[in-house]
Amino acid sequence: MRILIWSDAGANTGYGTVTANLAARWTRHGAQLAALASNYLGDPWAGPIALYPATKYDRADVFGVRRLPELLKKLTPDVLFILQDLYTVAEGLKVLQGQFPVPTVIYAPVDGTHLPHEWLEAVRAAHAVVAMSHHGARVLKDEAGLKVPVLWHGVEHEVVYPASPERPIYVDQPGTKRALTSKAACKEILGLTNRFVIAAVNRNSIRKNFYDTVRVFDRFRRRHPEAFLLIHAMPRDEGGDLPVLLHRYDLTDRHAQIHNPGDTFVGSDKAWLTLIYNAADVKVSTSMAEGFGLTDAEALACGTPVVAQDYSATTEVVGPGGLLVPVQRHFTTARMVDFALPDLDAMDAALETLYQDPAQREMLQARAIRHAQQFNWDQTAQGFWELFQAVTDAMNGNKRVTDSDSTR
C-alpha cells in the first residue's frame, strides 16, 4: 500500500513524533511511505519515509498546501493520511477544489469547541476521520454530525519511563554514560538537589499559555522558596519572550530555568525530555486547549503527576494521574474556535496539595504510570492500518468510512 502522509515529518515536534511512530509500524505491513513534510528543513533524516519538504517551491507555504496537488499526482498514493491542524486541512481542500481525489483519512486534532464551518466541511469531505480523543469525537459528532472512532496517541515507553535501580535512564557525560536510578539523581545532574521541581514542557505558543504558568508559579514560590520552575521551550517563539516574562515576576536563575530545545520545529530528543520528566515532582500545564497533550502523557509515563485544567482532551489524558482544576472562563480565539483559561486559584491550591502531601504524590505517581500504559503506539498504528484497508475497499463502491463504534 502506498501512503502519502501530510504532516510534520523529519522533525521531533509533536506531530513529527506521531508521524515517526505510526510510520515505523506501517512499514512492518509492507507500506511504501512518502510525506509532504511540514517543518522539515531538508537535512538527512534516517527513517522509512521519503520526505518532500513542504516549502520547496514557496517558503511562505510552511505546511505545503500548494504542493499537495503536485504530490498526489506524482506519487499516486492509495491513501492520503492527514495530520494537520484543521484550518490547514481546510486550506488543502480548497486547492483540491473541494474534493479529496484519493481515499483520505484525517487524524483530527480537535482541541476547542464551536469549530468554524470551513473546518467542519473539510472533515466531512474525508473518506474517514479519526479523533485523537473522546473530547474530539464528541465535538465532531455534535458539530459535524460525524460518529468517528478514537485512537489515542501512544508513548514511546522504551525510552520514556521512570528512573529506577531496575531500569535506569542514561545521560551522556564526557567519555561515558551515567546511569540515573532515582528522581533525586535526576535532580542532582540538573543542579536541582533538594528543590521542589515543577516542570512546564510545551511549545512556547499562545495556546500553551506560559503566561499563566509563570503567574501561578510565582504565587507558589513566594510561599515555598525551594520551588523551582523548569521550563522546556524556545525562549522566544509565537507565545512571546519567556525571559522577559520571568523578569516581570523577578524570577532569576535561582527560581527558574529555560531549557532551550534549539529549534521550534526540530524539537528535542526523548532521552533529554525523559530526564526532565523524571526530575520533576509535578508537571504543570495551563494550556488553553489540547487535541491530545503528548507531553502530559509522557510525564505520566515517567510517574510524574500532572496539574492541568479539566477541559478538552486534557481531562482524559491526565485522568487519574494528576489533579484537574476547573475552567475559569471560556473565550473565542482569533481563529473563531472556543478555548478556556484555567482557574489559577484552584491550580495554586492543587500545587499546594501535592507539595504538602508526599503520600498523595506517591499515590498519583503509581496511578500515572498505570494510566499511561494505555497510550500504545502499536495499537494505534494497527487501528489505522485496518482503517486504511477498509477505506480503500469502500472506495471501490464510493462509500465513506466514518461511522464506527471502535474507540479506545
Please report the pLDDT score of residue 401 as a whole number. Answer: 60
- Confidence class for position 405, pLDDT limits 50, 70, 90: very low
Share of the chain above pLDDT 90, in %: 87
Average pLDDT, the chain: 94
Helix, strand, coil shares of the chain, percent, nearest 5, are 40, 20, 40
Please report the pLDDT score of residue 269 as a whole number. Answer: 74
Please report the pLDDT score of residue 402 as a whole number. Answer: 55
Residue 71 and residue 191 share a domain: no
Choice among 12-21, 104-113, 241-250, 391-400 with the minimum mean pLDDT = 391-400
- Confidence class for position 207, pLDDT limits 50, 70, 90: very high
Edge-first strand listing for the sheet containing 2-8: 49-53, 32-38, 2-8, 79-82, 104-108, 128-131
- Confidence class for position 395, pLDDT limits 50, 70, 90: confident
In a domain, 400, yes or no: no
Q: What is the CATH number of the domain that holds 288?
A: 3.40.50.2000
In a domain, 403, yes or no: no
3-state secondary structure (DSSP) of residue 321: helix
Residue 184 and residue 78 share a domain: no
Residue 363 and residue 279 share a domain: yes
Number of domains within the chain: 2
Buried-exposed string 310-335: b where 16+ CB fall within 10 A, e elsewhere: bbbbbbbbbbebbbbbebbeeeeeee
H/E element, 5: strand 2-8
In a domain, 159, yes or no: no
Give the C-alpha separation, 21 to 381, whole Å.
Answer: 8
Q: Please give the average per-residue pLDDT across 359-367, as a whole number.
A: 97
**Tens digit of each residue's pLDDT (9 = 90 or more) over 291-328:** 999 999 999 999 999 999 999 999 999 999 999 999 99
In a domain, 164, yes or no: no
Assess contact for 127 and 401: CB atoms under 8 A. Answer: yes
Residue 145 and residue 26 share a domain: yes
Residue 324 and residue 176 share a domain: yes
In a domain, 405, yes or no: no
pTM of this structure: 0.93
Please report the pLDDT score of residue 406 as a whole number. Answer: 46
Share of the chain above pLDDT 70, in %: 95
- Confidence class for position 175, pLDDT limits 50, 70, 90: confident
Query: Is 271 or 351 the better-scoring residue by pLDDT?
Result: 351
Q: Please give the average per-residue pLDDT across 191-210, as a whole number.
A: 97
Please report the pLDDT score of residue 47 as a whole number. Answer: 85
Choice among 91-100, 165-174, 355-364 with the minimum mean pLDDT = 165-174
Residue 322 and residue 191 share a domain: yes
Assess contact for 143 and 115: CB atoms under 8 A. Answer: yes
- Residue 336's domain comprises 169-372
Give the C-alpha separation, 394 to 216, whole Å.
Answer: 51
Q: Is the pLDDT of residue 404 over 70?
A: no
Residue 145 and residue 187 share a domain: no
Q: What is the CATH number of the domain that holds 72?
A: 3.40.50.11930
Buried-exposed string 258-289: b where 16+ CB fall within 10 A, e elsewhere: bbebeebbbbbebeebbbbbbbbbbbbbbbbb
Please report the pLDDT score of residue 44 as a whole number. Answer: 82
**Tens digit of each residue's pLDDT (9 = 90 or more) over 122-162:** 999 999 999 999 999 999 999 999 999 999 999 999 999 99
Query: Is 337 or 268 the better-scoring residue by pLDDT?
Result: 337
Residue 223 and residue 140 share a domain: no
Q: Please give the average per-residue pLDDT across 174-199, as a whole number.
A: 94
Residue 106 and residue 41 share a domain: yes
In a domain, 160, yes or no: no
Residue 88 and residue 176 share a domain: no
Please report the pLDDT score of residue 351 as a whole number. Answer: 99
DSSP structure class, residue 67: G
Q: Is the pLDDT of residue 343 over 60?
A: yes
DSSP structure class, residue 308: E
Q: Is the pLDDT of residue 398 over 80?
A: no
Identity of the residue numbered 173: Q
Work out the widest C-alpha separation in the chain, in whole angstroms.
66
- Confidence class for position 268, pLDDT limits 50, 70, 90: low
Residue 26 and residue 127 share a domain: yes
Task: At 355, list the grid cell.
Answer: 507539595
- Confidence class for position 173, pLDDT limits 50, 70, 90: confident
Q: Is the pLDDT of residue 407 over 60?
A: no
Q: Please give the average per-residue pLDDT across 243-260, as a whole number.
A: 95
In a domain, 402, yes or no: no
Give the C-alpha separation, 374 to 121, whole Å.
Answer: 32
Task: At 102, list the grid cell.
Answer: 484519493
In a domain, 408, yes or no: no
Residue 223 and residue 94 share a domain: no
